[in-house]
Amino acid sequence: MSELPAAVAPDALAARAAALDAADPLAHVRDRFALGDTSRADAADAADAAEAGAGGEAGEGREGREGGAAGGAAGEGAGAVGRAPVYLDGNSLGALPTTVLPRLADVVAREWGELRIRSWEESGWWTAPERIGDRIAPLVGAAPGQVVVGDSTSVNVFKALVAAVRMAPQGRDEILVDAATFPTDGYIAQSAARLTGRTLRAVPADGIARAASDRTAVALVNHVDYRTGRLHDLRGVTAALHAAGALAVWDLCHSAGALPVALDADGVDLAVGCTYKYLNGGPGAPAYLYVRAEHQPRFDSPLPGWNSHADPFGMAPGYVAAQGPARGRVGTPEILSLLALDAALDAWEGVALADVRAKSLALTDFFLECVAATAPAGRLESVTPEAHAERGSQVSLRCVDAGEVMRELTARGVVGDFRRPDVLRFGFTPLYTRYADAWRAARVLADILVERDTAAGTADTADLSADPGVLPGAGTETRPEGQPEGDREGTP
Ligand SMILES: *Cc1c(COP(=O)(O)O)cnc(C)c1O
């Protein structure tokens, strides 16, 4: 078991967490989410005291069905001390905003149940994909009229990549893809390359600027790496691609809603992103597609369905593309999940993205500090960049028995996720995560590691300290981009 650095006693960290929460300009936004708690500090304090008395968190309940504990039902997660789990998996499935249930009830009972087909007009269903796109637009730095919502991210990656190849200068024979990409992007890129007769070349995201040449039609890059949490240089890479005459397609799944994105200002050609992570749209919520206004007239969709036709109800045999972002549509929109997303976006009212970014960095800094102060030395290695300019909104820690550790964390009311082979992933959603949550997560993690190592004997094999990235200590470095193969989980 490690000794705590003298300067950072647990009491001091708990007090810091309380002070940071008290000064947090986004603290009130947590009340817009159903997290199974009252979010009142006194309740948390009482629970902390109870826990300190009990000497641990073993008495806490289970998380229960994640994402399913809706409508404020505290569920099993409340446990013996009446407290909800710490939810650090909003980068996989965002929590439920309280506006969603009443809105969906109305959509189902009245708009569908009573108005039925009239709702396509009278309830604005037909125009929902562009209208809701315009609500997402400010979150990704886009002026209105460039974002359409519908289909999955995977499908939108396909549309964007093939359309980009069709827009690229003649004679460009390769597509570049971020080598560490979330797998679906890689699979789709492979298929898009086969269909368009191009070669797919996988390049680490930080090498794409150098790799771009007059052979490159387009590059597909992730803004934030889903596994390490590394933030890539959207502006710089886009500029380098443009200098080579190529187009830039960005995947914003792990950045939009967690940090400011400037698609218009940074010259991005096309972008996609999902809405069920930091945008809290709900499981399977439809994704979005951004097509830069100046490209829209040349956007030639590989999936030209009737919904993107200039005159959808003309039912003409020949296809004529609609103008504007509707060109990115395919078939009938997913109205129920689309309108759940619409309601979920209410959570952003009055929220400044600068505050979101500041809190995200402060939360992840604080969590890393808490982990460094409490976890057994050499037991964990952060693969998330220390430098703010390179960090998204998650912390990924390598840990020898990560799968079992995450199971135990979840059992004790701290929910993150596990990415094979050895990564503990903790997502920090600035809209609802508290500094006290970061502290509690770090402390429960340390308890688990100490217990496991004690049980396994003192001469355990879990020491990673030969690695330069090991916590704790200043100057923690991250591993290079290359990921071990075959280590990816099926859930995003
Ligand atoms: C989450 C995620 C996806 C998800 O794609 P779906 O089609 O919604 O399953 C795709 N790409 C990246 C980079 C992601 O993080």
Q: What is the pLDDT of residues 101-113, one digit of tens each?
A: 999 999 999 999 9
Global confidence as pTM: 0.86
- In 3D space, the residue among 52, 30, 57, 13 whose CA is nearest the CA of residue 368 turns out to be 13
Lowest mean pLDDT among 22-26, 77-81, 391-395, 437-441: 77-81
In the residue annotation, 288 being an active-site residue is answered as no
pLDDT exceeds cutoff 60 at 480: no
In the residue annotation, 342 being an active-site residue is answered as no
Contacts 24+ apart (CB under 8 A), 306-313: 306/331, 307/331, 307/332, 307/333
Q: What are phi and psi of 382, to 5 degrees?
A: -80, 130
Average confidence (pLDDT) over 269-286 = 98
Pick the catalytic residue from 87, 226, 276, 290. 276
* Ligand 1, atom nearest to 181 Cα: 13
Q: What are phi and psi of 348, to 5 degrees?
A: -85, 0
Average confidence (pLDDT) over 176-198 = 97
pLDDT, tens digit (0-9, with 9 covering 90-100), for 418-465: 999 999 999 999 999 999 999 999 999 999 999 999 998 754 454 555
Rg (CA), the chain: 23
How is the chain split among helix, strand and coil, in percent rounded to 5? 40, 15, 45
- In the reported structure, the alpha carbon of residue 273 is separated from the centroid of ligand 1 by a whole-number distance in angstroms of 7
CA–CA distances in Å: residue 356 to residues 25, 255, 257, 442: 9, 11, 8, 21
* Ligand 1, atom nearest to 284 Cα: 8
pLDDT of residue 36: 87
Q: How confident is the model at residue 470 (pLDDT cuts 50, 70, 90)?
A: low
pLDDT, tens digit (0-9, with 9 covering 90-100), for 224-263: 999 999 999 999 999 999 999 999 999 999 999 999 999 9
pLDDT, tens digit (0-9, with 9 covering 90-100), for 33-63: 999 875 454 455 545 544 444 433 333 333 3
Query: How many angstroms separate the CA atoms of 279 and 93, rounded?
Result: 9
Identify whether the C-beta of residue 374 lies closer than 8 Å to the C-beta of residue 10: yes
Q: Among 1.10.150.20, 3.90.1150.10, 3.40.30.10, 1.20.1080.10, what is the CATH number of 10-36+351-452?
A: 3.90.1150.10
Query: How many angstroms separate the CA atoms of 321 and 306, rounded?
Result: 9
Which residues, judged by CB distance below 6 Å to any ligand atom, belong to the binding site of ligand 1?
152-154, 182, 184-185, 222, 226, 251, 253-254, 274, 287, 492
Q: Domain ranges for the chain, please list them.
A: 10-36+351-452, 99-348
Q: Give the closest residue (by CA) to ligand 1 atom 1.
A: 492
Query: How many angstroms separate the CA atoms of 372 and 120, rounded?
Result: 55
Residues forming a β-bridge with 417: 425
Pick the catalytic residue from 33, 87, 158, 182. 182
Mapping DSSP to helix (H, G, I), strand (E, B) and coil, where does residue 359 land?
A: helix
Lowest mean pLDDT among 42-51, 322-331, 360-369, 426-435: 42-51
- Determine whether domain 99-348 maps to CATH 3.30.420.40: no
Q: How confident is the model at residue 1 (pLDDT cuts 50, 70, 90)?
A: very low
Location of structure tokens 């992730």: 222
